[in-house]
A and B are shown apart, each in its own frame.
Chain A
């Protein structure tokens, strides 16, 4: 299991405009870091700050650990490049697998390192309504706020879901051979909270 390195990003006090944010994200030396909400304090416009934080959260949401189980189709994906899950499996009726290949048969209550198989008691596919694969950040943002598509959650409930749910938390301790999601679940949760507080604004695209 990889040890997690945490980077505290020190953002210059100089004003950051929206247009610089893309360059900012791309210029970070390691892609597995997550900026703290505080680091966006210099973005004075609330809406812009909200979007900036969601964009940062987007690094988690679009990370393979998350997208692989929020696929567009009926089969999960695997690995860093998101190839189709091998062996081939489908969501079945309830997202927990077909009759003959139920997810928990292989994916046990925790990662099983001798077999290098990831695990969690609730291992299953996200419903189709929560598919993110191939979507833009804006589309994901709108979807994640939409109670019709987000499991009937109020936007505040996303703070717990992303920040504390243990299946989501697996993404940060995925076992050998899988890159963890950026940062930590705690930081991700803090970003969600701060995003909600600032009006849960969605990026333009």
Chain B
């Protein structure tokens, strides 16, 4: 879709910098957004007939799509030549940094500009709170983590940059002096989650986080670690109460009770890298004449990146402060959480600001990506579980989690809480006490990575569950069945799930599967020969949604019935564009052929405003703010927490419903000759689309193109844009869509902002007449949305070498309505591979031996290849939705979770050894079988 004129869409941030987007460039050169709007009206749309993705053709033809594809010459209006930047990082965090050996870079190799901490002070930049910590380590300080940036080197010529990077990478370029040891910093967050159920399932809880609020322990003076015991002086009464109940739970677990099986196990997991194939890359051009900074970036959190950039430069001194920042967000070569809230965009912007007038490219190579990219947290966990020997029911659970958050805080605090709340998985346990703390260390920064801490805790859980079942001589599936949380049951935080809980079906599927049925036969086969055979399973769930999820969507239909969609969620491979097209097609009868994702700016008519923090604000504040019809708790959020299907497509779907109800439907009635007062006129929900035609019982089917022409002819609604917000439940508002001519016509839906366009006109905002935001108390909830996935597998391990082969595997999952079933299937297959790599292959040592030293690449870091996987022996089953209109659930993360413990449980079955740490390498397996 090519807009016909320049549209400058501006909003002004608190720092006074206008964030805007120019969406049309010169006609000859396809502009950025034209390239990113797919499939585009010129070519084949595979999604139209369900035979491919909207980005399918672009990706098989090598089209320019990713941030790393763009050079200045590809962007209309930019100077043609690209300069290049190197972000220099410290490979040491225990000595004082004294500077760089710039003498290596002389003559043609000399950088045009060197940007250091001193330059940032001079420029007056600020560090956004989320990224607190020096953007560059100043000379004379010890870096706070391995890989902390120390400088940017900017080169006007590619050849100079290319030769310089070879000169500086072989060690010794970044210089250090006296040893100080690591910088000690406070922990990133500590929490305790305690629940004591009432005497019956229906009775209210005695104590829970939902009832009492979330609590954190205090500290003693300046000690590094929190104090978990309830010392009233340091910790406060609220924490003391939780800790007292928690202490009782632990006492009961430790008691000498012959009727209680108590297992006390430790489990340790390793740091791993998301290893998305496209290293982080960006392009920046500071046009100092217009005072506009333009950037090309790839980010899962575009709105957050835009805000962080505006904040960083918001009080900069002239000539370092732009009047406006234009962000162009591109398709990403993988994400997995590693492109969500990363500091990389800040450095891209700095490169541009310090070489004004010249477009600059900052591209990490893979060594640098390993050195500076966000990692998965390494966890140390201690888990205690108590099971009643008579009933086989879990009576108590206590766990202590310690996370290595690395150098910057990033999401560590949040990961700790989500992981803790997920620690009891699918089970209903009446007494639970979990402590968690995320520590700072000098290691590489850990943050969001697929599963967000819950992969670690589910691994500890599903292996201890397996051990408990074995100790009680209970069938592992029966044990899980007995303890599974039922629909309506309370979670660890004390709330129920709002969506379907399908544990019984999933467990039945596992039980009936041939891999499970034949396990004894195969195990016996293994006992005679040179291979050991074992079968294992795990059953898991994962929340989707973050508790403050936003969705922005804009949908338009043209006179020929062609559909365009804009959405603020992002594509890192998850196929959000195709999901958007399919979900909108259900309402509008046609698959969009112009889908623009990562678009945070095309919604200006909504004129949204926001304030405060949706996670922490109180009800009174929210009520007062919500009186402004343009206020929403948050404007746009990251594509994370498996929220693409449920959240990312929501606003566009709602916009499509408005177009149908107020545009297509009245036009269809007109074509059918049905008066607006006729009873049929109110039955718009009974209409169905079939093969591009609108079908109503007893009426002639109408093709979409005919209806669209009619909408334009009668100046009906042809476009809508909406905003939605979910805090474990959608905001809901009423909009007087009919306006004055149709006074009775109002529209109530799960959105909180709406603008519509009639015919070929402009968008006009419709202020909501009332709104109900989800209560702020919902912030006490762990999650209300959960999807399940279970995995069953049989492994064969060669005794002599320890080489493991997955002979057969089966994963079964449920996702509500699958918007694009082939993509769900692909996610499950990819998640399986990631789980295998995490269990058997991937490992990053902490600290000096790890990637912070700048020496790690693939080869040393091993991810799963095709030959590591059961390519023809992995069966994935996706359960149909529980009812035809079940909304979509997010599954991108849950499909990884059961793979890890299933593999460990299968390894136990084959070897008799329960491993307590990851990865389990070939050598370890060989040792176990020796």
| Contact present for A114 and B862 (CB under 8 Å) | no
| Contact present for A113 and B166 (CB under 8 Å) | yes
Task: List the A side residues contacting B860 at CB < 8 Å.
Answer: 79, 86
Rounded to whole angstroms, the CA-CA distance of A86 and B867 in the bound complex is 13
| Contact present for B858 and A88 (CB under 8 Å) | no
| Contact present for A176 and B170 (CB under 8 Å) | yes
Q: Mark B855-871, 1 if CB is under 8 A from A, else 0.
A: 10011101001010000
Would you give the shortest CB distance from B837 to chain A, in whole angstroms? 13
> Is A143 at the interface (CB under 8 A from chain B)?
no
> Is A150 at the interface (CB under 8 A from chain B)?
no
| Residue of B with least CB distance to A83 | B860
| Contact present for B862 and A86 (CB under 8 Å) | yes
| Contact present for B859 and A78 (CB under 8 Å) | yes
Task: List the B side residues contacting A88 at CB < 8 Å.
Answer: 865, 867
| Contact present for B166 and A86 (CB under 8 Å) | no
Max count, chain B CB within 10 A of own CB: residue among A86, A87, A113, A176? A86
Task: List the B side residues contacting A79 at CB < 8 Å.
Answer: 860
Task: List the A side residues contacting B855 at CB < 8 Å.
Answer: 177
Q: Mark A36-71, 1 if CB is under 8 A from B, else 0.
A: 000000000000000000000000000000000000
Rounded to whole angstroms, the CA-CA distance of A126 and B166 in the bound complex is 32
| Contact present for A86 and B859 (CB under 8 Å) | yes
- In the complex with contacts A88-B865, A88-B867, A114-B166 CB distance below 8 A: yes
Would you give the shortest CB distance from B874 to chain A, in whole angstroms? 20
| Residue of A with least CB distance to B858 | A86
| Residue of B with least CB distance to A2 | B170
Q: Mark A91-132, 1 if CB is under 8 A from B, else 0.
A: 000000000000000000000011000000000000000000
Q: Which of B823-857 contact A (CB under 8 A)?
A: 855
| Residue of B with least CB distance to A177 | B855
The dominant DSSP class at the A interface is loop
| Residue of A with least CB distance to B163 | A114
Interface size class of B (residues with CB under 8 A): under 10
Q: Which of B378-395 contact A (CB under 8 A)?
A: none
Rounded to whole angstroms, the CA-CA distance of A176 and B862 in the bound complex is 21
Would you give the shortest CB distance from B251 to chain A, in whole angstroms? 47
Rounded to whole angstroms, the CA-CA distance of A191 and B865 in the bound complex is 44
Q: How many A residues have CB within 8 A of the partner chain?
A: 9
Rounded to whole angstroms, the CA-CA distance of A117 and B867 in the bound complex is 24
The dominant DSSP class at the B interface is loop
Rounded to whole angstroms, the CA-CA distance of A33 and B858 in the bound complex is 31
Rounded to whole angstroms, the CA-CA distance of A176 and B367 in the bound complex is 14
Rounded to whole angstroms, the CA-CA distance of A138 and B860 in the bound complex is 32
Task: List the B side residues contacting A86 at CB < 8 Å.
Answer: 858-860, 862
Rounded to whole angstroms, the CA-CA distance of A86 and B856 in the bound complex is 13
Would you give the shortest CB distance from A41 to chain B, in whole angstroms? 40
Task: List the B side residues contacting A114 at CB < 8 Å.
Answer: 166
Q: Which of B155-179 contact A (CB under 8 A)?
A: 166, 170
Task: List the B side residues contacting A78 at CB < 8 Å.
Answer: 859
Rounded to whole angstroms, the CA-CA distance of A145 and B58 in the bound complex is 60
Task: List the B side residues contacting A176 at CB < 8 Å.
Answer: 170
Rounded to whole angstroms, the CA-CA distance of A78 and B861 in the bound complex is 13
Task: List the A side residues contacting B858 at CB < 8 Å.
Answer: 86
Rounded to whole angstroms, the CA-CA distance of A78 and B858 in the bound complex is 13
Task: List the A side residues contacting B867 at CB < 8 Å.
Answer: 88
Rounded to whole angstroms, the CA-CA distance of A88 and B867 in the bound complex is 9
Rounded to whole angstroms, the CA-CA distance of A119 and B855 in the bound complex is 20
Rounded to whole angstroms, the CA-CA distance of A86 and B862 in the bound complex is 8
| Residue of A with least CB distance to B859 | A86
Task: List the B side residues contacting A177 at CB < 8 Å.
Answer: 855
| Residue of A with least CB distance to B863 | A86
Rounded to whole angstroms, the CA-CA distance of A105 and B170 in the bound complex is 25
| Residue of B with least CB distance to A86 | B859
Q: Which of B857-902 contact A (CB under 8 A)?
A: 858-860, 862, 865, 867
Would you give the shortest CB distance from A64 to chain B, in whole angstroms? 14
Rounded to whole angstroms, the CA-CA distance of A34 and B858 in the bound complex is 33
Rounded to whole angstroms, the CA-CA distance of A78 and B862 in the bound complex is 13
Rounded to whole angstroms, the CA-CA distance of A160 and B860 in the bound complex is 35
Rounded to whole angstroms, the CA-CA distance of A32 and B862 in the bound complex is 29
Rounded to whole angstroms, the CA-CA distance of A114 and B860 in the bound complex is 18
Rounded to whole angstroms, the CA-CA distance of A79 and B862 in the bound complex is 14
Would you give the shortest CB distance from A7 to chain B, in whole angstroms? 23
Task: List the A side residues contacting B865 at CB < 8 Å.
Answer: 87-88
| Residue of B with least CB distance to A73 | B801
Would you give the shortest CB distance from A100 to chain B, in whole angstroms? 13
Would you give the shortest CB distance from B255 to chain A, in whole angstroms? 48
Task: List the B side residues contacting A87 at CB < 8 Å.
Answer: 859, 865
| Residue of B with least CB distance to A78 | B859
Rounded to whole angstroms, the CA-CA distance of A87 and B864 in the bound complex is 11
| Residue of A with least CB distance to B171 | A176
Rounded to whole angstroms, the CA-CA distance of A79 and B855 in the bound complex is 13
Would you give the shortest CB distance from A116 to chain B, in whole angstroms? 9
Rounded to whole angstroms, the CA-CA distance of A113 and B165 in the bound complex is 12
Rounded to whole angstroms, the CA-CA distance of A113 and B860 in the bound complex is 18
Rounded to whole angstroms, the CA-CA distance of A78 and B865 in the bound complex is 18
Q: Mark B301-336, 1 if CB is under 8 A from A, else 0.
A: 000000000000000000000000000000000000
Q: Mark A70-92, 1 if CB is under 8 A from B, else 0.
A: 00000000110000001110000
Would you give the shortest CB distance from B819 to chain A, in whole angstroms? 35
Rounded to whole angstroms, the CA-CA distance of A29 and B225 in the bound complex is 43
Task: List the A side residues contacting B166 at CB < 8 Å.
Answer: 113-114
| Residue of A with least CB distance to B922 | A84
Would you give the shortest CB distance from B905 to chain A, in whole angstroms? 27
Would you give the shortest CB distance from B697 to chain A, in whole angstroms? 59
Rounded to whole angstroms, the CA-CA distance of A88 and B841 in the bound complex is 14
Q: Which of B137-193 contact A (CB under 8 A)?
A: 166, 170
Task: List the B side residues contacting A113 at CB < 8 Å.
Answer: 166
| Residue of A with least CB distance to B855 | A177
| Residue of A with least CB distance to B801 | A73
Rounded to whole angstroms, the CA-CA distance of A78 and B859 in the bound complex is 9
Rounded to whole angstroms, the CA-CA distance of A87 and B858 in the bound complex is 9
Rounded to whole angstroms, the CA-CA distance of A79 and B859 in the bound complex is 10
Would you give the shortest CB distance from A170 to chain B, in whole angstroms? 19
| Residue of A with least CB distance to B162 | A114
Rounded to whole angstroms, the CA-CA distance of A10 and B172 in the bound complex is 33
Would you give the shortest CB distance from B868 to chain A, in whole angstroms? 9
Rounded to whole angstroms, the CA-CA distance of A87 and B859 in the bound complex is 7
A88-B867, A113-B166 given; name 7 further pairs at CB < 8 Å.
Answer: A78-B859, A86-B859, A86-B862, A87-B859, A87-B865, A114-B166, A177-B855
14 residue pairs of the A-B complex, CB under 8 angstroms, read A78-B859, A79-B860, A86-B858, A86-B859, A86-B860, A86-B862, A87-B859, A87-B865, A88-B865, A88-B867, A113-B166, A114-B166, A176-B170, A177-B855
B-side interface residues toward A, CB under 8 Å?
166, 170, 855, 858-860, 862, 865, 867
Nearest first, the 3 A-B pairs at minimum CB distance are A86-B859, A114-B166, A176-B170
A-side interface residues toward B, CB under 8 Å?
78-79, 86-88, 113-114, 176-177
